[in-house]
Structures are given as structure tokens and as C-alpha cells.
Amino acid sequence: MQIAILLYPGFTALDAMGPFEVLGNLPGADTVFVAEQPGTIRNDSGKLAVLADASLAEVGSPDIVVVPGAPDTSGPVKSEAVREWLTAVDRTTTWTTSVCTGSLILAAAGLLTGRRATSHWLYLDELASYGVEPTGERVVTDGKYVTAAGVSSGIDMGLTLAGRIAGDRVAQAIQLLIEYDPQPPYDAGSPEKAPADLVAEWRARRI
């Protein structure tokens, strides 16, 4: 079972690494980082470099595709090579997935039209411009398309998918082994829970 995680300059690290850590522990998983060209790809801070093992042309029929997000997705959204690859591999994938604003990349490729999907809360409204029905849920499954909300929700998406693929017990074992037991010191992880002035501040920065 090949799992292809798309990389591009400026991607958000946890968007890719959360699903990598979860899905990579599935029995028979063969995880590959893929980019337009193989080599090191730096994340949005520029401080982390991840090796893309293969080019898009070298990965033609993965079973699962994971598209991480970024603060700025204009690069992959505008990339004809990325759009064509996503459209091509989607014809045979079992699951096509995204984390955070990665859903905007899938939407730009026309893969989410008419479907329900989620994204980071700051970018959620952009989905509608692609003919997608936005929802604030943390993980959304619509057919074979699984989208996750912001950043850390990629772990939840990975576990959701692991359960669908290998069963609850395997997914629970993965959760146990990575000790994913969130107990944050603050309850401010969504715009509904965070202080209103903090939400307003970040919405203003986004404009």
C-alpha cells in the first residue's frame, strides 16, 4: 500500500508529519514523499528541510495521497504539474486526503467540487469559491475524500483513515504507540473556544 505525501516549498511541517507518523505505521505501508522534483523541500519557516524521495512523474498510482497545507498555497494551486498529477492519480487512489489548507489544493484541482470538506478556520470560506461545501468539522469524509481542519487535525485524520483501512484495534494501537492523548494546558484550539479578541486579531491579520 503506497502512501504518497505531497511536498512543495512552504508546506506546514506538522500537516505532513502527523499523517506520516500515523499512516506509516499501518501494516504494509510504503510511505513516499513526492514533489515536482526530488530533493530537499523546506517548510513554511524555512528551518526544516524534508527529503522528497521521488518526483511526481515517478509516483503514478499511489493508494493514498496526502496533501498538506501551507500559509500560502498559491504555488501548488497554480502549478499545472501538481494539478495534473493530483487529477491523474486520483483516478485510481483508494483515498485522497488533505490537511489544513491542503484542501484548497485539492479543490483547485477540481477534486472536491460539490463535496463537503474542511480546512484551517482562517481559510475555510475560500473553499466555497471552488464549489465546495465548507464545514467546520475537524475531519470530514465524503466518499473517498478525507479532509482535516488545521495542522494538528492531520493526526486525527490519519487515525480515522487507519481505522477505516485496518480496523479499530490497529488504529487504537497506533494511537497508543504514538501516545496521542491530548491534554493541552489551554482550551483555545478553535475559534469557538478561543478568546473572541484573539480570534478577531488573527482574522484581521489574515485580511
Domain harbouring 39, CATH code? 3.40.50.880
Task: Indicate whether 110 belongs to any domain.
Answer: yes
DSSP secondary structure, 73-122, as one string: -HHHHH-HHHHHHHHHHHTT-SEEEEETTHHHHHHHTTSSTTSEE---TT
Query: What is the distance of C-alpha 11 from the center of its chain?
Result: 10
Task: Indicate whether 199 belongs to any domain.
Answer: no
Cβ-based neighbour number of residue 37 at 10 Å: 11
> What does each of the 207 residues of the chain score in pLDDT, given as a tens digit?
999 999 999 999 999 999 999 999 999 999 999 999 999 999 999 999 999 999 999 999 999 999 999 999 999 999 999 999 999 999 999 999 999 999 999 999 999 999 999 999 999 999 999 999 999 999 999 999 999 999 999 999 999 999 999 999 999 999 999 999 999 999 999 999 999 999 999 999 986
Task: Indicate whether 187 belongs to any domain.
Answer: no
Give the count of domains, the chain. Answer: 1
pLDDT at 138: 98
**Domain range spanning residue 33?**
2-182
Grid cell at residue 107: 479543490
Nearest Cα neighbor of 103 from 203, 9, 12 is: 12
pLDDT at 206: 85
pLDDT at 101: 98
pLDDT at 154: 98
Task: Indicate whether 22 belongs to any domain.
Answer: yes
Task: Indicate whether 188 belongs to any domain.
Answer: no
What does residue 21 show for φ and ψ, rounded to 5 degrees?
Answer: -65, -40
CA atoms within 13 A on the CB side of 77: 17
Catalytic residues: 100
Q: Quick check: pTM over 0.85?
A: yes
Task: Indicate whether 205 belongs to any domain.
Answer: no
Task: Indicate whether 102 belongs to any domain.
Answer: yes
Find the farthest-apart pair of alpha carbons in the chain and give their distance in angstroms, rounded: 47
33 vs 31: CA distance, rounded Å: 7
Task: Indicate whether 18 belongs to any domain.
Answer: yes
Grid cell at residue 47: 528551518
